[in-house]
Amino acid sequence: MNTKYSPLFQPIDLRNGIQLSNRVVMAPMTNFSSNQDGTVSEDELAYYRRRSNGVGMVVTACAYVTRNGKGFPGEFACDSDEFIPSLRSLASTIKEQGAKAVLQIFHGGRMCPPDLVPNGRIVSASAVPAEQGASGQTPEALTEDEIQSIIQDFGAATRRAIEAGLDGVEIHGANGYLIQQFFSPHSNRREDSYGGSLEKRLTFPLAVVDEVKRAVADHASTPFIVGYRFSPEEPETPGITMADTLKLVDVLADKELDYLHVSLNQYWATPRRGIEDSRTRLEIIQEKAAKRVPVIGVGSIYTPDDALKALQTGVDMIAIGRELIIDPDWVMKVKEGKESEIETKIKKDAQERLVVPDPLWQAIIHTPGWFPMEE
């Protein structure tokens, strides 16, 4: 290995005592490829097996914790005990390659397609439709009893992850889904204990964190990872600002989580609004976290030099998503001094070689600009 890349391969000890073998994380990516019944498919297992060798931790695609939270076709489920064997096969496939296996747990809220949820009933914090990326259907505002039920569902999903042998869960509070919908002034117009002020908009996200941690305390006999992913800002007005996010980071950093995972498309993005600061969002977030909790950075990292430059900003770990689809051997090539052989553009005839399930491959090929393509 080229010694300049050795910082990427330093082990890291998480708060709970679990050690990751290096600083490279496979980012969670939707793959649209589960079986119709919500179980993990053989194609998905092959996809994860191909990519889990070398990384310190794999964060899986999101799994819905409640039947009416399914956000994608071909998304795997964790809303019932019947899915524990399916999740067990996922956990063992990843862990056999030497990586820690973390299940991302989620509820899509108003972003769920109506045809994927019971009776087409879309729910959210308030009856406010999404402005982008969803059906446009106005969701129903959840009742307080329904909110409590969903909080408990996150705890139950955590118990299932523990029983399935996973190493942890990542609470998906990013990308405009239900947890973020409660934190956002765009989607949360409530006037009860779950909405209004910024502090009240934090009630639901923090209740989910507390319930997940309670489930770990009650059911895990060995250390179990709990992480939280969030998006720093929203384009909508009103919407989450960088100032709001710094408050979120501050309270999450005191929750004794194992990591915070910042959801960004570009690692070097700077704040849109809310604060006057020319530094990158990730640098500002790290400063607020103040080493109270490890931070994972992500966003368009393709080469080892990209990853090293990002790590040198002070983040504890680097998540790589699209690049691990383009080149599943990325980590091993860096480790073996073969970084010159790394591929950074996807080849249109490489599906079989790269072991990518067909629904995901079709999405990649037919979504211009999502992946760098070799012409």
pTM, to two decimals = 0.98
User: For position 274, which CATH number holds?
Assistant: 3.20.20.70
Enumerate the β-bridge partners of residue 318.
24, 297
Nearest to 309 by CA among 338, 280, 271, 276: 280
Enumerate the β-bridge partners of residue 64.
77, 106
DSSP assigned state of 139:
P
pLDDT at 99: 98
Structural domain of residue 276, as residue ranges? 3-374
Enumerate the β-bridge partners of residue 127.
none
Give the pair of three-digit tokens for residue 243: 């100032």
Cβ neighbours, 10 Å, residue 25: 28
pLDDT at 9: 98
Q: Buried b vs exposed e over 40-53: b needs ≥16 C-beta within 10 Å? A: bbebbbebbebbbe
Nearest to 159 by CA among 66, 67, 80, 62: 80
Tens of pLDDT, residue by residue over 159-170, are 999 999 999 999
Structural contact between residues 271 and 277, judged by C-beta atoms closer than 8 angstroms: yes
Nearest to 321 by CA among 233, 252, 261, 258: 261
Give the pair of three-digit tokens for residue 293: 């909790």
pLDDT at 375: 76
How would you classify residue 163: left for phi > 0, otherwise alpha for psi between -120 and 50, otherwise beta? alpha
Greatest distance between any 2 Cα atoms in the chain: 58
Give the number of domains in the chain: 1
Nearest to 23 by CA among 12, 35, 34, 13: 12
Give the pair of three-digit tokens for residue 141: 């505002």
Structural contact between residues 370 and 43, judged by C-beta atoms closer than 8 angstroms: no
Residue where the block lists tokens 């607020």: 288
Helix 203-219 and helix 242-253: axis angle, to 10°? 30
pLDDT in tens, the chain (375 residues): 999 999 999 999 999 999 999 999 999 999 999 999 999 999 999 999 999 999 999 999 999 999 999 999 999 999 999 999 999 999 999 999 999 999 999 999 999 999 999 999 999 999 999 998 778 899 999 999 999 999 999 999 999 999 999 999 999 999 999 999 999 999 999 999 999 999 999 999 999 999 999 999 999 999 999 999 999 999 999 999 999 999 999 999 999 999 999 999 999 999 999 999 999 999 999 999 999 999 999 999 999 999 999 999 999 999 999 999 999 999 999 999 999 999 999 999 999 999 999 999 999 999 999 999 997
State how far the Cα of 374 lies from the Cα of 43, in Å rounded to an integer.
24
Structural contact between residues 57 and 26, judged by C-beta atoms closer than 8 angstroms: yes
Q: Which amino acid is at 194?
A: Y
pLDDT at 80: 98
Structural contact between residues 346 and 325, judged by C-beta atoms closer than 8 angstroms: yes
State how far the Cα of 348 lies from the Cα of 322, in Å rounded to an integer.
15
Tens of pLDDT, residue by residue over 308-365, are 999 999 999 999 999 999 999 999 999 999 999 999 999 999 999 999 999 999 999 9
- Helices and strands, number each (H, E), in the chain: 13, 14
Cis peptide upstream of residue 7 (ω within 30 degrees of 0): no
Instruction: Report the residue count for the chain.
Output: 375
pLDDT at 132: 84
Residue where the block lists tokens 């790590």: 311
Give the pair of three-digit tokens for residue 280: 């990158």
Question: How would you classify the pairing of strands 24-26 and 123-124?
Answer: unpaired
Q: Which amino acid is at 263?
A: S
Residues that are catalytic: 177
